[in-house]
Every structure is written in structure tokens, then in C-alpha cells.
Copies of this chain bind each other. A is one copy, B any other.
Amino acid sequence: MNKNNEDFSNCPLPIDSSSFITLAHGGGGKLTHQLIEKLFRPAFNNSELETQHDGAVINIPSEKLALTTDSYVVRPLIFPGGNIGSLAVNGTVNDLAMCGAQPLYLTAAFILEEGLPMELLWTIVQAMKRSADHAGVKIITGDTKVVDKGKGDGIFINTSGVGVIEHSLKIHPKSIQPGDVVLLSGDIGRHGIAIMAAREGLGFQDQVESDCAAVSHLVQNLINAGIEIHCMRDLTRGGLATALIEMAQTSAVSINIIESEIPVREDVKGACEILGLDPFYVANEGRFVVFVKADHAKYAMEVMRKDELGSQASIIGTVMEAPKETVILKTQIGTSRILDMLSGEQLPRIC
């Protein structure tokens, strides 16, 4: 056991604090094979996992699929509430869920920097396995590359995902219509603040944990309940505001939201004030908005609240015809302001 109380004795590749990734681990020779067979394969252990062939062969019981990809470059690699491994699984699972798909399979491709501690890699791949199990997906094929020291940043992970779509809903920004009601699955701003606090070593890092989680079962519950979903979006880079602005632009509608209905934890509010950030633009990793037919909104909220992840779900606004491509926030003091897309980013490398 090391100082973080993590157990490394369960890794079939003998590793200790003096084991590091070398360029030779990416060369395709003996060391690459050892890494695959004694670290990745045992970590991701499942019957479909194909490490001896160029890809995996799968049987999919549906013709309609969703396909998605994301590379994760978060810094630091470990943060309160998760690490780059859990983020890489949950983020891609959530992208599939936002398409209305049931996530089934993931690929995992690693770009390792020479000198990465082997214990850290084992910690990360174990988190990936736990997150995959929790979300009900299987990691079935992968890739490992190693880059020279100073040409990477510890580890970058790409996960791509395949899911099946087994309903007839058309879930897309273009399906959003005037009259639709907007629901938010929970409080916002935690992931970005947790990352920022961990990165900068700020004092409040123990209070704010990332919301990093898979929301696919919450989405499946909505679909199974017969809710007419028009669109969904997870609130990652750019946060709630950017997601809503994007959707207002694509669907050429006006989205009107009410500040008082949007939960932001007090500690997140405090951290945002200190850091000069607007929580509406701060990234989340386990939160999403869903646009539904107006008379389904209340039932949708009830369905979401039955699940722990959606216990704070709320109706935050409605869709109007005009002014087109605009998001209007009704503030707590009763005024209205237009939310605009930021030029760059508040926080770099949060996912």
C-alpha cells in the first residue's frame, strides 16, 4: 500500500514506486506486450476484450447506432471526485447518452509520456474499469503510444464509444421547438472548480468535488418513461451557458432561463467569486439539460428526481420563438440579460 492507500499488489505487472513508462513500452516489442498483457488486459478484463488482434468484433442487435469520440487532456490527472480515467469513461458514456443512445462499447487509446509512474497508470486504468462497470459499458479494444519526455503531459486518453438507439425519438438541437421546457439535472459548476482548486492548490479543494459521473441510466429512465425528449446536452466545456447558446443558435430559437431555478452550491459560488468566474460558464461532467414537450416537463422532473444523480433536477426555463438564436437569463434581482458565448475559455484543460 502506498501513501494514498491504493493497493498496487493486485497489478499482475510487478510495479513499485521506481517503475516508469519508457519509450520502449511504445515500441511494439516485448515491453509493449508486457504492458498490454499484464496491465491493460487484467485491468479491463472482459470476454470481448481483444488484445491480440487489430480490432474487436462485436454483434450489435440494432441497426441504428451512435458513434462518438473524445480525447481527455485534463490537468491535474487526479482531482477531487475523480481522475482522468473516470473522466474519460464518463465523458464518452455521457456523449452517447446525449444522442439518446444506450452506451455499449468503448475503445481506449493512451498517449503516455516517457517517465509516467507505472503506479499512476494502474490507478487510472482501474478507475476506468470501475467507471465502465458502473455505466454498464465494456472497454473492448485499445492502443498505446509513448512519446518522449517533454512531448506530452503524463497521459492523454482517447475514448470512442458505440451505443444503440432503440426508440423513435429524434433527439437533436434541430428538434427543439418554441414551447419546449428546459430541465437541468442538478447543481452546476463543481467540476471546473474542483479542477481549478486542485491545479492551483487552493484552500477550498477539499470542499468541492467534481460531479464527474455517468448519466446514461438517468437518460434511459426518461426514455423508458415515455418522455418526449427533443434534445439533450451535457454541460462540459463552456458550462451551462455555452451549451444553451449553441442549441439556441442551431435550432434558431430563444431560450429563456430563470437564475433562481438553477442550483449552484454555496462553496462553488464562493470559489467562483474568489476566482472571478461565472458558474454558468464553468464545466460540469455529470450534469445535462434536457428539452422536452411542455406537458411532459413535470413528469420528467419527477422521473429524474427518483435517481440520486437527478435529485436536484429542476425546470429552469422555456423555449420561445424570438429573439432567435438568443439565450436570456432572468436574474434573481428581476432584470434580464443576454448570455453571450465566451471567446476563449475560463479554464483551460478541464477535460
Contact = CB atoms under 8 A, between A and B. Distances in A.
A245 to B, nearest CB: 10
Given A148-B348, A160-B160, A69 B109 contact: yes
Contact of A68 (B56, B234, B342): B56
A53 B98 contact: yes
Interface stretch (A28-36, A78-86, A120-128): A28-36
A145 B27 contact: no
B111 A344 contact: no
A323 interface: no
Contacts of A283: 28
Interface in A206-260: 233-234, 236-238, 242, 246, 250
A162 interface: yes
Interface string A43-78: 000000000111111111101111111111100000
A141 interface: yes
A23 B345 contact: yes
Contacts of A60: 60, 63, 65
Interface stretch (A151-159, A262-270, A297-305, A306-314): A151-159
A72 B71 CA distance: 13
Given A53-B99, A57-B64, A99-B57, A29 B345 contact: yes
Contacts of A148: 153, 348-349
A142 B27 CA distance: 27
A30 B342 contact: yes
Interface in A12-37: 22-24, 26-33
A54 B27 contact: no
A286 interface: no
A236 B26 CA distance: 12
A68 B142 CA distance: 7
6 nearest A-B residue pairs (beta carbon): A27-B345, A24-B344, A28-B237, A55-B68, A160-B160, A69-B107
16 contacts: A28-B238, A29-B342, A29-B344, A30-B343, A53-B172, A54-B68, A54-B99, A55-B66, A55-B98, A56-B66, A56-B99, A59-B65, A71-B143, A111-B111, A146-B348, A148-B153
